[in-house]
Amino acid sequence: MTLSADRVSYSYAGPPKGGHYDGLNRAGHDASSEFALRDVSVTIAPRSLTGLLGPNGCGKTTLLKLMSGVLKPELGSVRLGQRELRGLSARAIAQQIAVVPQETHPAFDFTVLEMVLMGRHPHLGAFQLEGPDDLAIARESLAATGTAQLAHRSYTTLSGGEKQRVVIASALAQKPTVLLLDEPTASLDLGYQLEIASLLKELNRERRVTMVLATHDLNLAASLCDTLVLLREGQVLMQGPTREVLTSATVKQLYGVIADVSFHERAGHITVIPVQRP
């Protein structure tokens, strides 16, 4: 199913005094208004792997939260297929869309298997306990992320890379059609970054999970994503195929950095090497 944002705007300050937008036309929102996102339209094709790029504070995380239904847009709409997220319950959304945040800190000492079984929550009734089928899905998700041997470990004792793989397993246990990831490799070392990247690529290809990935790592985005959305100051600067969108010109526009952008034969993808700040 296609996930799309249609002319969405969102402000953390809440709606203007008086409660609604009558008398405010969309063009009237100038750059000085406090919108985290303004009039953003994005279409995520089924089974694509889309990267969200942009400097700090450009609205990447806000857009992900709108697309997962955690935040509701003040203007515009977010749709999954034909249905607007606003009209769906959290449970119905979670049966289709799963989220992997940058970091996950449970308040209690859950085991890895318990963490992954929480992914079954949207598929269980309020009084329903997980059954053998749910356990099988959880075990399979652990296996898919290479964490089966950690099932009975305490989550809090894992390394950063292991934790992130377990959280991805928990998201897979939701059996989502769309997976949204917010800087999933931000706190990981180079080895784990490559590991998570190849895991995501594999899951996208083999399980046909649509993925949207917000990241600061341009090389990660270049190696993984078939489509890129560039955000700047809460607005879409450009969106399209990675090859067309990721250029020295757009890197300069986004980050104000002069960079060499070229195809790397041995890596097999475009690479970005920052050269200087003019």
Partner 1 sequence: MSPPSRLAASARQALAVDALERPARKPIRTRLAVTIAGFGALAVAAIALAPLVGSTHISLSRAFDRSIPFADNVDAQIFFVARLPRVLSGALVGAALAAAGVVFQALLRNPLATPFTLGVSAGASLGAMLVLIFGVSLSVGPFSTVPLASFAGAAVAAGIVYRLATPYRRAMSTAVLLLAGVTLNSFFSALIMFAQYFADFAQAYRASRWLMGDLDVGSYQPIIAAVPLVAIAFAVFAMLPSALNVLSLGPEAAATRGVDVVRAQRLAFFSASLATSAAVSLAGPIGFIGIVVPHLVRLLVGVDHRIVLPASALFGAAFLVACDLGARTLLAPVELPVGVLTAMIGGPFFLWLLVRKG
Give the residues lining the site for partner 1 (CB under 8 A).
Answer: 14, 65, 68-70, 89-95, 97-99, 101, 104-111, 113-114, 118-119, 121-122, 124, 126-127, 129-130, 132, 135, 151-154, 157, 174
Shortest Cβ 66–partner 1 spacing (Å): 12
The whole-angstrom separation of Cα 167 and Cα 160 is 11
Nearer to partner 1, 1 or 70 (CB): 70
Residue type, 36: A
What is the three-state SS of 73-119? CCEEEEEECCEEHHHCCHHHHHCCEEEECCCCCCCCCCEHHHHHHHH
Task: Answer positive or negative: Cα dihedral of 143, 121, 133, 109.
Answer: positive
Based on CB atoms, which residue is closest to partner 1, 11 or 68? Answer: 68
- Given the complex with partner 1, which of 69 and 184 has the nearer CB atom? 69
Nearer CB in complex with partner 1: 1/118: 118
- All residues at 6 or more sequence positions from 258 whose CB lies less than 8 Å from its CB, including other chains: 248, 252, 274, 275, 276, 277, 278
Q: CB 260 → partner 1: shortest distance, Å?
A: 38
Tokens coding 1 = 């199913």
Min dist CB 176 to partner 1, Å, is 10
For residues 51 and 202, give the distance between their C-alpha atoms in angstroms, rounded to a whole number: 16
- Token pair, residue 42, equals 């994005």
For partner 1, give the closer residue by CB, 106 or 241.
106
CB of 92 or CB of 186, closer to partner 1: 92
The radius of gyration of the chain's CA atoms, rounded to the nearest angstrom, is 19
256: left (phi over 0), alpha (psi -120 to 50) or beta: left
